[in-house]
Structures are given as structure tokens and as C-alpha cells.
Amino acid sequence: MSELHDVAFTLNGKPVSARVEARLHLADFLRHTLGLTGTHIGCEHGVCGACNIMIEGRSVRSCLMLAVQADGSNIETIEGLTERNAIADLQREFVARNALQCGYCTPGVLATAAELLARCKPSRAEIREALSGNFCRCTGYQAIVDAIEAVAQLPPDRGT
Amino acid sequence: MTDSQSIIGRRMPRPEAVRLAAGRGRYTDDIDVAKLAHIAFLRSPYPHARIGAIDSTAARAAQGVIAVVTGDDLAAICKPWQTHLALLPGHKSPPQHPLARHEACWQGEAVVAVVADTRANAEDALELVEVAWTELPAIATPEAAASHNAPVANSAMSSNLGLEHSVSVGDPDGAFRDAAVIVEHDFSFGRQTGVTLEPRTILAEFDRRLQHLTVHHSHQVPNQMREIFAAQLRLPLANVRVIAPDVGGAFGMKLSAYPDEMAVAALAVLIGRPVKFCADRLESFVSDNHAREAKVRGRLAVDSDGILMAMEVDVVSGFGAYTAYPRGSAGEAMQAVHMSAAPYRLQNFRGHAQGFFQNKSPSGILRAVGQPIACTVTEQLLDLAARKLNIDPAEIRRRNYVDATKSAKRSVGGSLLNQLSLNRCHASLLKLMDYDRLRQQQTELRSRKIYRGIGLAAFIEQTAVGPALYGPQQVRVSADEACRITLSPDGGIRCATSITDQGQGTPTALIQIVAQEIGIEPGGVEIVSGDTDRTPFGGGAWASRGAALGGEAALRASRRLKQNILKIASTLLQSEASALRIESGAIVNAAGLEQMKLADVAAAALYRSHQIPLDELPALDIIESFAPRDIPHITANGIQGAHVEVDPELGTIRVLDFWIAEDCGRIINPLLVDEQIRGGVVQGIGAALYEECIYGHDAQLENGSLVDYLVPMAGEMPDIRIAHIETPTKATTLGARGVGEAGTVGAAAAIWTAVNDAISPLGTTVTSQPFTPEHVLDRIAAKK
């Protein structure tokens, strides 16, 4: 048992405050304390990207961050991004191209893609490079690259 | 109005993908129930050790701890199990327990379970458990296991040998004597593991009053597991329900009964509280089944035209500490031998397989089982022969393809071949690759010391395996797939299938089949799967059977239901059934005019049946099951091509392009098929270039994390171009052959032949998979 700390942050547009164990990582806090199970845990050592969420608009590994470190930040999970239609174009293209099989990596992949598309209009090679921190065992990646590329090609006011 | 002819074959997105892409998947670890307790396992830190006294006094007193349980505690309520394969009686390891008793036989074997209110508290308490270990000699490699006077991997065994199998066909000695050219090659295949992104997870609840066990299980075969849980825990079958919710990848790795998962079910019974276990990634590496570890020596004899005369393979396989339950661990080596040269005409063959127990994680099924090994050995030997005879690699294949287009044949290893399209796939692939131009470019680049290689791998994929595989082994594995199809009160169709889904998208294929066969919109079909209480009995997901067998059962059930619907409708409409058809959920007459909705037929039959003037009401709830009973399996075929560049200074390999031309029979949904192929190819590329469970000579796993065990990532993978040849199988009405393993069967072989083609000017070959830069440089240096 480690010591308890107060933590308060904005989660999917709403304030959250809790008292958490110092050792609790953010992914476990989101999943098991708050019940936001759309964030998945694949390795808990920062390689697979299944737990990627958005913090201050950047894609972040929630397994490599302690819940206490989230204090004061603005966090969005797949649930929040979906709710405010922030990644609707991406989700539509992923579904249309079957860019997911088991779907376990998908929320993390979408966080990576959302950050990438907010930053630039990436080429295929840049999409593959950006995805190098997201492990997908099922698809072979090509349909994921296709889907992100399709959104990147949308007119600027349409892209997510 | 829907053109009912076009639903099958449509690129229809999966309805469940919308939910999954919104983060609304419901995997086993997402499920919470009241009073849920969490389990952490103390796993053996030693590859082989005697388990002495276990002191759990301090752990029991730790915060949140509910129980600390050993193998002896669980032995009282859970019977041990032992894999028996009737045709391979030597493939036997000692009885296994949910938690090891007396002796741990691999690093990672579960020994003590701590149950606590949270996983963190359970893990804290684990550190307080004291075990008196006595290290025993550990066996790492099959070679060590085979050596004279080797210690045994388990002290209850008299020998480490777990498989000894030979086959001889024709006159191999004579053919080798008469051959124009003989080539030989050594192959080493690294141990791999499934690395499903969702780890193995299980939640078990036991109702003591009803003596009823409910298990949510990230697994491929709930019916198999239901029977195993019932048998080992001495419960009536009727008292066990197994549910496989969303499953985050499986690839054969989630086909076995794992001891730690048996322990979870047993703990639910023992302590009477719901319990959950979710493997973390580090324990996945030391407790998931491994696969592929093998050393192979292959020889091939050809005549002066490159026609195959004889082949010889000697396979030594590493099983790990125990046989996988209930399917065993012999499949890899058996398939590696028996699928040799399967796409080619060959009369003379000798194969020998041995398998040894070792103090490593048990091995089991991984996508394509042994077929990638057979394909690699065959294709690499063919290339060596072609090089000696100065025949183009594509040409030597073309000269040797077996002709099984019209009539069924057996490969030299006994595999059934039927309705093959190897020549058509071959032509299609060469065109897709622009093969001649690639060869020209290769020659030009070689003059500038750029080493590019072009690799080919023709393959046969055994799909839709029937009861002839496990039946004769007396293993209780269902090969039948069933579909229960029902007209719902609202005119929709409910399809309950024995097929399970771990991302393949089979439910969508079933929707398309049912919608087309009945004549309704796809949105009107509901699929139920992955729950032993709600679906008919059957196999689940293994050996590329979802669309081929589950689809056939759905087609047959749909046709019968449609007849019955039309019979009722014709009575209600006072018309001939033959004059009516169903289109877009409505009964239409010969003129195409809508007469009534399916919902009207349902309402009449379900609520006002007294008004239907038929002596017997035709059933609106139909069950059909299907398995190939007169053939062992269906066969798919194809050929893959890889284009790679090797840097001889760095030893690195870049995959530039990848192509595949394949024939999986009738394509239900190209979106799903292409995904199966690409995902399978990438797993094969991973095998050839990156993936290996690296063990030290002391049998300790040295790279059990995702940092150190390399998997294919997006940056290194090429786009994969696919061409389809569609030859519907005559084994079913539907015509789908199956496609789940095609990519994996041949991809590693295409990388082997491409890399060795690239470095052929340097006079050397790679021999050991995965081809690390170190291995490439060693092989180049050895030649200098």
C-alpha cells in the first residue's frame, strides 16, 4: 500500500477529483476506478500504445503516467473524443476500410492518428512512422494507414 | 430494393466495428461484477525446481488478501489432466495440475495463487510468500534434451522424447542416387509466441446454491472449455456456462486449457466469490503457449530439368515442459513433415520428426501450425536447386506444380489436394509483381553493389479441418459448426452460430450469407455467438473454419427456413409456394408485387397460428450443422512474392514490397478476406525477421517483454498487394474454402527465399529465423 494523494483534472470536458494511491497508473485509474474501459492495457511498459489517450491535445501512454501526475491536466479518452465527434472522420474511415479486427489497439491508434492529423497533412510514410508506437497484431497495418490517409486528404475544414 | 444476388461478395463493413472504434468493446477485463476478487500468481523463477515448503502466513495477513492457495489446496477440487493422442501414444507428459505440485518445470509455471480485493494487493502479498525451492538441472534446447544421459525435464518422465515419427513414400534412396542435382540446407526456426494484444483473461463466478459455474473467457473455443471445466471440477456439464465476449486477438494461442486459467475456475468454486485473472504482458511471455521452435535438415533431388525427384526432411521440435491440453503439441512437427512439397508433383519422400520436452513454456497451436515450416523448407530447397541448374525460380516452380485442378490428389506427405489453381495464381502473381522487370532491375542494381532479392513461396493451406483430425486421436474437439436460425416476431432473422470471433469478422460474413439466402436486408440479421448457453454446440474458431463451415451451416439453415416461411406465406396468401419469393424482407409474387412482409408471416405464425390452415406448422426455428465428413479438410492455395534489400555492411533487411495471389474459394466479403491475408502475411514476416523467445542455456527466457521481443510495427511493414483467384470448393454449397492462415503459411518462406536471393552473389545463405542483423553478418563473414 502506498500513500494517498489528491488529484483533480479535466476528463472529457468534466472535472474529476479523487484520492489515489501514489503508485496507481493513469490507465488503471481510468479503467478500474472511473470505469472508462475504452482505454486498453496491452503491455504496461510503454511499447504497444493500446493505452494511448490525449493529454493537452497530445497522444500519451496512460500506462507510463501515474494518476497523480494527471493533476491539473486536460485529458480526453476514446469515450470523450467519440462523444464530441472529434474523431468521427477517422472512425468512419476505420469502419469503412475494416482498419481494425479485434479492436483492442484501435482506441490507442485513433489517439495517435488524431494527434498526427492535428499537426500536419501526413504522407503514407509519415503515417507509418507515426504509427510505429502502436502495435496491431491483427491487421498488418495497411488498412489503418489507408484510413488515416483518407482523412488526411479531406478538405481542411473537414478533417478531424 | 436490394439486389439479393449481390450481398455475398460485397465489401460490407462490420457492424461491430462501429462499436469497437468508439472504445465500446467489452473484453473480459472490462467486465465487473459485485464482490469481484483478483488473482495474482506466484510463478516459478526457475526453469526446473523442486517445490519444498510454502509459507504463506505473512501473505494471508496482508491487506486485502482473501486467500492464498497452493497446488495441494486445488488438488482437492480439480482433477489433473493429461493429453492423450490415441495415434501418438508417446506424446505424453505427466498429469498437469492448475498449480504446480512438488516440481516446477518451466520458468513462469504458476505455483501459488493469491486472491485479494485488488490486483495490486494480490501482487503485494505475493512478495510475502516464501517457497523453499531446490533448483534442478534444466533442459533448454531439443539437442540437450536428446543427448545421451540428459536429465529429464520432469522427474516423473523416463525420457524427454515426446514424438518419434517416420514416413517413407516411394523410393527416396533410388531417386537421390539417380538425381542430376542434390541440394541440402539447415534451417533453424526460433520459438515464437502469439502476443495477442489482449492478454489471456478469465473471470469465473460460482453459485454455490445452484452449483453453477459461469466463466467469461478470452478464448476461441467456449464449448471445449465448458466440457473441460465441468470434467476437471466434477460438475455436471449443464452447470457450466462459458462466454467468450469481445476477444482481443487469439491466433491459436487461445485454444488451450491453461493451468492458471483452470486455477481461476477452481478458485471460484473453492472460495465462492467471483474471481478474475488478467495476465500482464510479462507473465504472458512466460505462460502463453509458444510455438515453432524447430531445427530442420532438408534435402532435395531434382533431374537436369529441375523436376523434383525426391525430398527428405528431418525435423526436431521443442515442445516445452508439457503437452498442450487437449490438442497436444505434436502438430507443428507433424505438419512440418507432412506438408512438405505439398504444391508439387513428387513421388519419393522420407520424413522424420522428433519432439522433445524441455524446461520452457509449453508449446501449442499458433496460426498455420507447422505449415510455415514445411513451406519454407520446400521453397528454399527449390531455389537452391534452381540456382544450381541456372533455372529461374519462377520457372522451376511452374515446371513442378501438381495438377489437381480437376481431380483430387494426395501430396507426397498425404495431404488432400483438390480444385487447386496453382498455375493461375502463379501467372497472376508474376503479373502483379511485374516479375521480369524486377529481375532486370535486380541485375542492374547488383552491378552497383545493391543487394535486392526476389522471393517466391507457393503454398497449400489446409482449411476447414473436419473430424478426421482429432476424432481418430480420441480428443474431444468438435469439428462441426452449427447454426440455429430463427424468424423473429419483427420479421428479422436471428442467427446463433457455434463460430466464435476474435476479430476475423465472421459474424459479418454470416449476416451476408443469411441475408442473401433468405432475401432480407443485412441489417435485419442478428448474430449471436460466443456463449454456450445461447448458441448451438460446435467447434468455435480454429483451422480457418468460420466462413467455410459456419457459413455453410448458415446457408443450409437459411434455405430450409426460407422454404418454411414461403410455405406458411403461400397458405396465408392462398397461392403456390413456388410462385412466391422473398425480397428485401417481403413476400413477392411472380410479378414482383409485394404481398406481405416477413413480419406479417412471423405474426401469423407466432401469435395467430390457429388461423393457419396447415396440419403441421413448418418450423421457423431451424438448426443445421456441417463438417466435412468425407474429406479431412478443404484446401486453399496460392503463391506469395517478397522483394527485399539487404545491407551487407549492417546486416539489415528492408522489405520493399510484398504480393500474394491466392484462392480461398468463393469470397463472401473482400474486406474481411484481405484483412485476414494481410494480417497473416505480417505475422509471417515477423517470424522471419523479428520474433523469437530467446532462452539462455539455463532455460531462462531472456527477452520476455515487448521491449525485447520484437514484433512487426507499421514503419517496417510494406503495403501488401493481393490478387484473388476464386475457385469455389465443391465440398460445400457455399464454396468458401477458408483464408485465416494463408498469409502466415507462406510469408516467412517468401522472405527466406528473397533474402537468400539477395545475398546469393555473396555466396552464402541465411539459415536461422529470425534473420537478425547479427545472423546476416555472421553468414556473410563466414564466407569471406
pLDDT tens per residue, range B191-202? 999 999 999 999
User: How many other C-beta atoms are found inside a 10 Å radius of the C-beta of residue A126?
Assistant: 16
> Which amino acid, one-letter code, is at B559?
R
Contact: B711, A41; criterion CB under 8 Å: no
Rounding to the nearest 10 degrees, give the CA dihedral for residues A146, A147, A151, A153. 10
Residue with cell 503463391: B639
Q: Sign of torsion, CA B534 B537 B543 B548?
A: negative
Q: Which residue of A has its CA nearest to B722?
A: A142
Q: CA–CA distance from B236 to each of B80, B225, B226, B233 (Å)?
A: 17, 13, 10, 9
Q: What is the CATH number of the domain that holds A72?
A: 3.10.20.30
- With a CB cutoff of 8 Å and minimum separation 6, the contacts of B610 are none
Question: B502 contacts in A (CB within 8 Å)?
Answer: 101-102
Phi/psi for B410 (5° steps) reads -110, 140
Model pLDDT, residue A160: 46
Q: Which residue of B has its CA nearest to A39?
A: B23
Burial grade of B272 (CB within 10 A; 0-12, 13-18, 19 or more): middle
Same domain membership, residue A143 and residue A101 = yes
Same domain membership, residue A88 and residue A67 = no
Q: Residue B22's closest CA among A32, A150, A36?
A: A36
Predicted confidence band of residue B4 (pLDDT cuts 50, 70, 90): very low
Is residue B499 a contact partner of residue B478, using CB atoms and an 8 Å limit?
A: no
Same domain membership, residue A98 and residue A64 = no
Measured at the alpha carbon of residue B638, what is the angle toward residues B633 and B644, in degrees to the nearest 5? 135
Q: Sign of torsion, CA B595 B597 B599 B602?
A: positive
Lookup: cell for B465: 479441418
Q: Which residue of B has its CA nearest to A108?
A: B23
- Across the range B174-197, mean pLDDT stands at 98
Measured at the alpha carbon of residue B275, what is the angle toward residues B274 and B279, in degrees to the nearest 5? 155
Residue B2 clears pLDDT 50, i.e. is over it: no
Same domain membership, residue A96 and residue A69 = no
Same domain membership, residue A59 and residue A9 = yes
Contact: B281, A140; criterion CB under 8 Å: no
Question: A100 contacts in B (CB within 8 Å)?
Answer: 17, 20-21, 503
Contact: B249, A94; criterion CB under 8 Å: no
pLDDT tens per residue, range B713-744? 999 999 999 999 999 999 999 999 999 999 99
Write the residue in B199, B246, B706 that is nearest to A47 by C-beta: B706
Same domain membership, residue A76 and residue A94 = no
- With a CB cutoff of 8 Å and minimum separation 6, the contacts of A89 are A151, A154, A158, A159, A160
Q: Which of B713, B719, B722 to mutate to test the interface with A (most CBs of A within 10 A)?
A: B713
Cα B198 from Cα A42, distance rounded (Å): 6
Burial grade of B340 (CB within 10 A; 0-12, 13-18, 19 or more): buried
DSSP three-state, residue B177: helix
Write the residue in A35, A98, A131 that is nearest to B714 by C-beta: A131
Same domain membership, residue A58 and residue A97 = no
Is residue B769 a contact partner of residue B687, using CB atoms and an 8 Å limit?
A: yes
Contact: B120, A21; criterion CB under 8 Å: yes
Write the residue in B29, B681, B707 that is nearest to A45 by C-beta: B707
Q: How far is A93 from chain B (nearest CA, A)?
A: 10
* CATH 3.40.190.10 describes domain B4-25+480-626: no
Q: Residue B735's closest CA among B527, B552, B579, B581?
A: B552
Contact: B711, A138; criterion CB under 8 Å: no
Measured at the alpha carbon of residue B653, what is the angle toward residues B184 and B753, in degrees to the nearest 5? 30
Lookup: cell for A42: 496491452
Measured at the alpha carbon of residue B501, what is the angle toward residues B707 and B499, in degrees to the nearest 5? 145
Cα A158 from Cα A75, distance rounded (Å): 23
Lookup: cell for B733: 454449397
Contact: B678, A100; criterion CB under 8 Å: no
Question: B281 contacts in A (CB within 8 Å)?
Answer: 42-45, 48
Write the residue in A104, A110, A128 that is nearest to B198 by C-beta: A104
Write the residue in A110, A129, A142 that is nearest to B715 by C-beta: A129
Same domain membership, residue A99 and residue A33 = no
> Which amino acid, one-letter code, is at B738?
G
Of A59, A81, A103, the position where a domain reaches its end is A81
Contact: A35, B247; criterion CB under 8 Å: no
Helices (H) and strands (E) in chain A, counts: 6, 5
Contact: A104, B681; criterion CB under 8 Å: no
Q: How far is A131 from chain B (nearest CA, A)?
A: 6
- Percent of chain A predicted with pLDDT > 90: 94
Q: Supply the DSSP symbol for A83.
A: H
Contact: A138, B249; criterion CB under 8 Å: yes
> What integer best gives the mean pLDDT of chain A?
96
Burial grade of B2 (CB within 10 A; 0-12, 13-18, 19 or more): middle
Contact: B503, A103; criterion CB under 8 Å: yes
Contact: B197, A97; criterion CB under 8 Å: no
Question: B504 contacts in A (CB within 8 Å)?
Answer: 101
Predicted confidence band of residue A1 (pLDDT cuts 50, 70, 90): low
Write the residue in B197, B251, B678 that is nearest to A142 by C-beta: B678
Model pLDDT, residue B5: 61
Q: How far is B680 from chain A (nearest CA, A)?
A: 8
Write the residue in A45, A95, A142 that is nearest to B13 by C-beta: A95
Beta-bridge partner residues of B238: none
Q: What DSSP element (H or E) covers B681?
A: helix B670-689
Q: Residue A37's closest CA among A77, A10, A75?
A: A77
Same domain membership, residue A96 and residue A42 = no
Domain contains A33: yes
Predicted confidence band of residue B603 (pLDDT cuts 50, 70, 90): very high
Q: How far is A155 from chain B (nearest CA, A)?
A: 23
Structural domain span for residue A96:
83-152
pLDDT tens per residue, range B531-560? 999 999 999 999 999 999 999 999 999 999
Write the residue in A35, A50, A127 that is nearest to B197 by C-beta: A50
Q: Residue B211's closest CA among B241, B187, B182?
A: B241
Contact: A45, B281; criterion CB under 8 Å: yes
Domain contains A158: no
User: How many other C-beta atoms are found inside a 10 Å radius of the C-beta of residue B87?
Assistant: 10
Tally of CA atoms within 13 A in the half-sphere of B557 that contains its CB: 31
Contact: A45, B706; criterion CB under 8 Å: yes
pLDDT tens per residue, range B627-662? 999 999 999 999 999 999 999 999 999 999 999 999
- With a CB cutoff of 8 Å and minimum separation 6, the contacts of B649 are none
Same domain membership, residue A88 and residue A72 = no
Write the residue in A41, A100, A128 that is nearest to B21 by C-beta: A100
pLDDT tens per residue, range B242-284? 999 999 999 999 999 999 999 999 999 999 999 999 999 999 9
Same domain membership, residue A147 and residue A121 = yes
Of A42, A62, A81, the position where a domain reaches its end is A81
Question: A141 contacts in B (CB within 8 Å)?
Answer: 682, 713-714, 717
Q: How far is B710 from chain A (nearest CA, A)?
A: 10
DSSP three-state, residue B579: helix
Cα B2 from Cα B37, distance rounded (Å): 51
Contact: A45, B683; criterion CB under 8 Å: no
- With a CB cutoff of 8 Å and minimum separation 6, the contacts of B756 are B380, B383, B453, B455, B765, B766
Question: A145 contacts in B (CB within 8 Å)?
Answer: 714, 719
Tally of CA atoms within 13 A in the half-sphere of B191 that contains its CB: 28
- Percent of chain B predicted with pLDDT > 90: 99
Of A34, A62, A81, the position where a domain reaches its end is A81
Q: Residue A33's closest CA among A21, A44, A15, A50?
A: A21
- Percent of chain B predicted with pLDDT > 70: 99
**Mode of pairing for the β-strands spanning B493-497 and B409-410:** unpaired
Same domain membership, residue A95 and residue A30 = no
Q: How far is A13 from chain B (nearest CA, A)?
A: 17
* CATH 3.30.43.10 describes domain B372-463+632-692+699-783: no
Q: Which of B11, B18, B20, B216 to mutate to test the interface with A (most CBs of A within 10 A)?
A: B20
- Across the range B764-779, mean pLDDT stands at 98
pLDDT tens per residue, range A133-160? 999 999 999 999 999 999 999 987 664 4
Contact: A140, B251; criterion CB under 8 Å: no
Q: Which residue of A has its CA nearest to B199?
A: A42
Specify whether the backbone of B306 is left (phi greater than 0), alpha (psi in -120 to 50) or beta: left
Write the residue in B22, B194, B280 that is nearest to A82 by C-beta: B22
- How far is C-alpha B227 from the chain's CA centre? 21
Question: A97 contacts in B (CB within 8 Å)?
Answer: 671
Cα B444 from Cα B447, distance rounded (Å): 6
Residue B563 clears pLDDT 50, i.e. is over it: yes
Q: How many structural domains is chain A composed of?
A: 2
Counting one residue from chain A and one from chain B, the pairs whose CB atoms sit within 8 A come to 175
Domain contains A122: yes
For residue B507, is the peptide bond before it cis, meaning its omega torsion is within 30 degrees of 0?
A: no
Q: Residue A141's closest CA among A153, A160, A128?
A: A128
> What integer best gives the mean pLDDT of chain B?
97
Residue B598 clears pLDDT 60, i.e. is over it: yes
- How far is C-alpha B22 from the chain's CA centre? 27
Contact: B706, A50; criterion CB under 8 Å: no
Beta-bridge partner residues of B67: B115
User: How many other C-beta atoms are found inside a 10 Å radius of the C-beta of residue B392?
Assistant: 15
Model pLDDT, residue B1: 39
For residue A15, is the peptide bond before it cis, meaning its omega torsion is within 30 degrees of 0?
A: no
Beta-bridge partner residues of B336: none
Rounding to the nearest 10 degrees, give the CA dihedral for residues B354, B100, B230, B118. -130
Domain contains A29: yes
Q: Which residue of B has its CA nearest to A1?
A: B121
Write the residue in B23, B63, B681 that is nearest to A38 by C-beta: B23
3-state secondary structure B693-736: CCECCCCCECCCCCCCCCCCCCCCCCCEEEEECCCCCCCCCCCE
CATH 3.30.365.10 residue ranges of chain B are: 4-25+480-626, 372-463+632-692+699-783
pLDDT tens per residue, range B355-374? 999 999 999 999 999 999 99
